[in-house]
């Protein structure tokens, strides 16, 4: 295990794409850029104090989670957007854009959304998801399963695996 931290540049290159997907999954494409930027700026600030050998991606997702909570609260204080959630039928596999999936995720309750994002997009085990969002590991697993089931109804018809 390394005793020194790698240059932060490496952190951005290695984990930037996954963290952006997590932000898109939790907040939607519109607010994801802001959340990603705030996450990496906060991470850069705290980076020198990170213990070498830590799980950097889990650390980043933890920071992103706090930013997502902040943004979700801020959003609740904002007037509702004019455009309703997309109601067009689920696109064919070929037509699927990730924007549609992220939009569909926005219809999920917050808890389901973050459970799906952290487990399926960030690849975190349910124990870590539970530690992050609160509640038991089983509750995290149920929230993610409910979220995926709801997504299948609103978004795609891919067979369950």
Partner 1 sequence: MTTYEPGAPERSDLFVALPAIDEETTRRLRDRLVREAQTAGLLDVAYRTIDSPVGPLLLAATAKGLVRVAYGCEDHAKVLERLARDLSPRILHAPVRLDAAAKEIDEYFAGLRQGFDLPVDFSLARGFRRLVLTRLRAIGYGQTASYAAIAVAVGNPRAVRAVGTACASNPIPVVVPCHRVVRSDGSIGQYVGGVDAKRTLLTLEGRPAD
Q: Which residues make up the interface to partner 1 (CB under 8 A)?
A: 4-9, 12, 16-18, 20-21, 33, 36-37, 40-41, 44-45, 47-48, 55, 57, 93, 96-98, 101, 116, 119-126, 148, 151-152, 155-156, 158-159, 161
Comparing CB distances to partner 1, the nearer of 38 and 111 is 38
Tell me how far, at minimum, the Cβ of 7 lies from partner 1, in Å.
4
Give the count of alpha carbons within 13 A of 22, CB side only.
Answer: 30
Assess contact for 100 and 60: CB atoms under 8 A.
Answer: no
Tell me how far, at minimum, the Cβ of 136 lies from partner 1, in Å.
17
Comparing CB distances to partner 1, the nearer of 80 and 95 is 95
Comparing CB distances to partner 1, the nearer of 77 and 157 is 157
DSSP state at residue 95: T
Tell me how far, at minimum, the Cβ of 81 lies from partner 1, in Å.
22
In angstroms, the CA 123 to CA 60 distance is 13
* CA dist list (Å): 86 to 26, 77, 82, 128, 155: 17, 22, 12, 32, 10
DSSP E strands in the chain: the ranges are none
Tell me how far, at minimum, the Cβ of 53 lies from partner 1, in Å.
10
């Amino acid at each position: 295990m390394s005793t020194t931290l790698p240059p932060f540049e490496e952190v951005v290159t290695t984990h930037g794409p996954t963290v952006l997907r997590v932000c898109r999954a939790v907040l939607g494409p519109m607010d994801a850029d802001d959340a990603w930027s705030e996450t990496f700026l906060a991470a850069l600030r705290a980076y020198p104090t990170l213990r070498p050998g830590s799980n950097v991606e889990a650390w980043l997702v933890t920071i992103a989670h706090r930013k997502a909570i902040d943004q979700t609260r801020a959003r609740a204080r904002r007037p509702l957007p004019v455009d309703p959630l997309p109601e067009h039928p689920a696109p064919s596999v070929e037509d699927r854009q990730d924007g549609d999936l992220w939009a569909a995720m926005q219809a999920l309750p917050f808890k389901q959304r973050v459970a799906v994002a952290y487990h399926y997009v960030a690849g975190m085990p349910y124990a870590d998801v539970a530690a992050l969002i609160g509640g038991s590991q089983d509750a995290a697993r149920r929230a993610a399963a409910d979220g995926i089931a709801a997504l299948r109804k609103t978004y795609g018809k891919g067979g369950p695996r």
